[in-house]
Amino acid sequence: MVKHRIAALAGVLVLTVLSINGCQGVKKDSGTSGGNETAEEEVIETEAGEEPEVGMGNPWVEITEEEAKNYCDRLFKAPPGAKDQEWLKCEELGDPEKGVQPMIQLSFELDGLYFTARAQQGAAEDADISGLYTEWTAGPDDVTLANWGGGNMAGKTCRSVNDSGYIDLITWYDVEIGIKYSLSTASDDLDGFDIQAVAEQMYSEENEPYTGP
C-alpha cells in the first residue's frame, strides 16, 4: 500500500486530496507478489444467483526509480534524507497518440512531512497534474527555482488554509523538453515552511538527458 499519500495524513483534508480522473496512487492489495497491480478488470464475488460486478483494478503500478526514468527524460530525485520512497506510474493518465507519457509519482517522508511529487512528459504547460482539488487561499505566486533550468526555471506556489489544516503546492514546467512537475504536502501547520526549497533539492544532474555528440 502507498503509505504516505497526502490523503493518508490522519484527519487532514481527506475530501480535497483526490487523484486526477479518479486515478488514485494507492495500491490495492491484490494478493499477488511484487505489488504490481494493473488496470485489468476484476470480478467481485456476489451472492448466488446475482450477476457478478465487474470493476477496474488500480491503474497505479509500483515501479523502480530506474524504470521511472524511461518515461521522463529529466526526472527529479528524492531530496537528501527522504524516507519511505515509493515510485508509481499510471498509464491511464498518459496519451501515447499525443506524445503524453504515463504519469510518474514519487511519495516520500522528509522531516516529519509527507510529500507527493509528480512528473509527466508531454503534458501541457497549464495542465494540473497535482491531483489536488481545493480552493487556494494564497497564490499562485511566481517563483524561480535554483538548479532547475540553469537557475532560471519558472514555477508557481499555492497554499490552502482551512479548518482541516494546510496544503502547499509548487508546480514548474520544463519548456525545453515539455515536462510538467508538481510537489505537494499537507499538515496541520505549515507556517514558515518553504516547499520551494524541497523542490530545488529534487533536481538531479545525473538525470539530465545526454546532449553530447
CB atoms within 10 A of CB 171: 24
pLDDT band at 24 (very low <50, low <70, confident <90, very high): very low
Q: Where are the domains of the chain?
A: 6-22+54-207
CB-based burial of residue 65 (10 Å sphere; 0-12 exposed, 13-18 middle, 19+ buried)? Answer: middle
The pTM score is 0.75
Q: How far apart are CA 16 and CA 20, in angstroms?
A: 12
**DSSP characters over 104-173:** EEEEEEETTEEEEEEEEET--TT---S-B----SEEEEEEEESSGGGGTEEEEEEEEEETTEEEEEEEEE
Query: What pLDDT sits at residue 69?
Result: 96
Say which residue, 10 or 117, is predicted with more confidence.
117
Q: Could you tell me the three cell numbers for 106? A: 514519487
